[in-house]
Structure 1
Amino acid sequence: MCGRFLFGEEAYLNAAAIAHMPQWIQEELHFGEIYPSQSALVLKKNQNGDGLEGAVMKFGYSYTRAGSDRKQLIINARSETVDSKWMFRWAFLHERVVVVASAFYEWTADKQKVTYYEPDQTLYIGAIAKDDGFVILTKEANASVRDVHHRMPVLFDAAQAKIWVERVDLAKDLMDTVSPLLDHSPIVSLAQGHLF
């Protein structure tokens, strides 16, 4: 499960190299650790359908169970069933986005926070959107994450991110590609957008 992630200036600059960023967007962004219900940078298909553009969306979207008045915030969906579950199918077919991140976090059984990142790389996390919110897609963890958690986010490189957003016919196969092996550290600091 991916419940928090880190967003730094370097990740923003890398995303701006592959997507159009509206002039106002930096005023809306929160840099640092991103929690559920906070706003974050995503890349989506531009209005012409021929490239990517940045947008600010909320991490998670609300869901009300039948027979209940209480809203729940959904933050993750399983990649294996996202195209068949009624709650996610439409968004998978029509509203795929990528979340821009510097790193993501998981916690050990004894509540130790572990930071996962790819050195000198921006993480493009597969997600789907509904209204003004997004849900991060997860898959079975690879060897670099498995000792801490059995799930991890669906990760793309910059070229795959563009394909994910634009090509529904290739989206399912992209989720099955091998995730990169990540570095990890129990301690992270953010200084000028770099992980140390």
Structure 2
Amino acid sequence: MCGRFALTATPEVLVELLGLLKVEGFPARFNIAPTQPILVVIATERPEPGSNLPERKALLARWGFTPGWVKDPRSFPLLINARAETVADKAAFRGAMRHRRILVPASGFYEWHRPPRGSRGASQAYWIRPKEGGIVAFAGLMETWSSADGSEVDTAAILTTSANRAVSHVHDRMPVVIQPQDFTRWLDCRRQEPREVADLMVPAAEELFEAIPVSDRVNKVGNMGPELQEEVTPAAGAALETEDPSGDGCGQLSLF
């Protein structure tokens, strides 16, 4: 799964990599958590001048996918991830997979290696980042949820797949990464049906990421500085703060 990630790139870097016309200024975010707004990229219907390709636009969406048929999001499970292997068949995601595929830019993500049940070992947090630096684009889905009073909220989930060898020693799942040469195909929901982009939903290349052990400060949503990504020596039996790093507990910014 992917329960925390970071985006610290400048707007200029995002514009260049993602082929955007512009991105509004925003602060570096070192500890993005579920229910918070995340930056996503969509393909609009209006083509760029002289091109038949759709224009790409960045917007904010709530991290926590809510299908349009849900009446009360507060009573619905928080869907922050969708499994690539089954996403095209699941009722919650089927429509979005066909019509509303997105990119989620990230500087990297956090994952936790948890000891076997019954073991006395402690969980260890890892910052998993591109070896060469820069940013990557996770595959995602978006849905606009409408309330009874007519208000709307854009919501999103990140697709996950089996972890590659660089990540599997930490966790058995990882986000799906879309390569720049495949951005247009992934976002083109008008011409590319889910079966035609299934080949993109695979583990990232072995050499893309490296896993850096970091302190358990990342477990707390309120900790948001660059020190979260500083490498530490894993300490066996180290105590962790008790907040669930993938939950939607107090302190997270909710758009509902």
TM-score (ref. length: structure 1):
0.84
Judge conservation of contact 1:8–1:190 (CA < 8 Å) in 2. Answer: no
The superposition leaves residues 90-117 of structure 1 with CA deviations (integer Å, 9 ceiling, x where unpaired) of 0000000010000001001132110111
Alignment of 1:125-136 (within 5 A): 125-131=138-144, 132-136=154-158
Aligned Cα root-mean-square deviation (Å): 2.8
Alignment-mate amino acid for residue 51 of structure 1: E
Judge conservation of contact 2:167–2:174 (CA < 8 Å) in 1. Answer: yes
Q: Matches of 1:13 and 1:32 in 2, distance apart?
A: 18
Q: Which residue of 1 aligns with 2:159?
A: 137
From the superposition, tell whether residues 74 and 108 of structure 1 become closer, same or farther in structure 2 (CA, over 3 Å). same
Alignment-mate amino acid for residue 113 of structure 1: A
TM-score (ref. length: structure 2):
0.66
Q: Which residue of 2 aligns with 1:9?
A: 9
Q: Which residue of 2 aligns with 1:72?
A: 77
Q: Matches of 1:19 and 1:144 in 2, distance apart?
A: 29
Judge conservation of contact 1:30–1:40 (CA < 8 Å) in 2. Answer: no
Judge conservation of contact 1:19–1:54 (CA < 8 Å) in 2. Answer: no
Q: Which residue of 1 aligns with 2:112?
A: 107
Secondary structure of the residue aligned to 2:77 is strand
Judge conservation of contact 1:52–1:162 (CA < 8 Å) in 2. Answer: no
Q: Which residue of 1 aligns with 2:136?
A: 123
Q: Matches of 2:4 and 2:74 in 1, distance apart?
A: 27
Q: Which residue of 1 aligns with 2:213?
A: 186
Q: Which residue of 1 aligns with 2:32?
A: 34
Secondary structure of the residue aligned to 1:26 is coil
The CA deviation at 1:73 is 1.3
Q: Which residue of 2 aligns with 1:43?
A: 41
Alignment-mate amino acid for residue 56 of structure 1: L
Unaligned runs of 5+ in 1: none
The CA deviation at 1:153 is 0.5
The CA deviation at 1:30 is 6.3
Matched, 1:53 2:57: yes
Alignment-mate amino acid for residue 58 of structure 2: G
Q: Matches of 1:65 and 1:56 in 2, distance apart?
A: 21
Alignment-mate amino acid for residue 3 of structure 2: G
The structure in which a higher percent of residues are strand is 1
Q: Matches of 1:19 and 1:134 in 2, distance apart?
A: 21
Q: 2:91 aligns with which of 67, 70, 86?
A: 86
Q: Percent identity?
A: 27
Judge conservation of contact 2:37–2:61 (CA < 8 Å) in 1. Answer: yes
Judge conservation of contact 1:44–1:96 (CA < 8 Å) in 2. Answer: yes
Secondary structure of the residue aligned to 1:56 is strand
Q: Matches of 2:45 and 2:230 in 1, distance apart?
A: 34
Unaligned runs of 5+ in 2: 48-53, 115-121, 145-153, 216-224, 232-256
From the superposition, tell whether residues 92 and 46 of structure 1 become closer, same or farther in structure 2 (CA, over 3 Å). same
Structure with higher Rg: it is: 2
Instruction: Answer with 113-122 or 78-87: which moved more.
Output: 113-122
Judge conservation of contact 1:140–1:150 (CA < 8 Å) in 2. Answer: yes
Q: Matches of 1:39 and 1:111 in 2, distance apart?
A: 27
Judge conservation of contact 1:9–1:31 (CA < 8 Å) in 2. Answer: no
The CA deviation at 1:146 is 0.6
Alignment coverage as a number of residue pairs: 189
Judge conservation of contact 1:19–1:43 (CA < 8 Å) in 2. Answer: no
Alignment-mate amino acid for residue 84 of structure 2: S
